Amino acid sequence: MANQGTKKEMRQEIKIRLSQLDGVFRDQASQQACARLLRQTVFERSQHILAYAAMAGELNLWPVLERILQAGKTLCLPRYLPGSDSYEAAMIRDLEKDLRPGKMGIREPSPNCPGMDLKRLDLILVPGVAFDRCGRRLGRGKGYYDRILSAVEGFKCGVCFDQQLVDQVPVESHDELLDCILTPAFWLIAGRGTVLE
């Protein structure tokens, strides 16, 4: 079992790293990561995509969300379910009209947006605190994304700034592995090294 103190220390270390990035750098890095993602075959082939609306400090995928809708693909974002303290995937058709502040102020689909069966998702774009090259992910400690990831069969891609890559993320039995990691500089296939595209 992973040491909780180690996870806490890693979260603090990454928080410090991210605090040193200015807004211009974050914007440029986000644009680079979006451009890299849009060139990937897995993105082109995917029709049902679960993405996220970035919180402060997360890599911003907004241009990708717009492209998904423009391409006629199905865009889903996580929506909080207070009854079960969990998240579901819900479809978005209009980024201006269909989003509202949800749990912790994160933008999420409004109640009138239809839900999506997690097993129908082709591609899942996952934020996090830290990632490693083996596809391990350190989240914020609540396990929300691990529960989603355990139910999906599609391609699971972590999304982060290069500063969030670490040598090894401490994991526990419930932590789900990812298929790849997207950063502004890299498209990393988990466990197989770096693919530069």
pLDDT of residue 96: 92
pLDDT of residue 48: 98
pLDDT of residue 174: 75
pLDDT of residue 194: 59
Cα Rg of the chain (Å, integer) = 16
**Domain 4-195 is found in CATH 3.30.450.30:** no
65 within 8 A of 95, measured Cβ to Cβ: yes
Rounded Cα distance, 141 and 58, in Å: 16
**With pLDDT > 70 as the criterion, what percentage of the chain qualifies?**
94
**With pLDDT > 90 as the criterion, what percentage of the chain qualifies?**
80
Is the pTM higher than 0.85? The answer reads: yes
The pLDDT tens digits for 57-102 are 899 999 999 999 999 999 999 999 999 999 999 999 999 999 999 9
42-47 long-range contacts (CB < 8 A, ≥24 apart) are: 42/123, 42/155, 42/157, 42/180, 43/123, 45/122, 46/73, 46/122, 46/123, 46/154, 46/155, 47/73, 47/74, 47/122
Indicate the pLDDT class of residue 191, thresholds 50, 70 and 90: confident
pLDDT at 146 over 50: yes
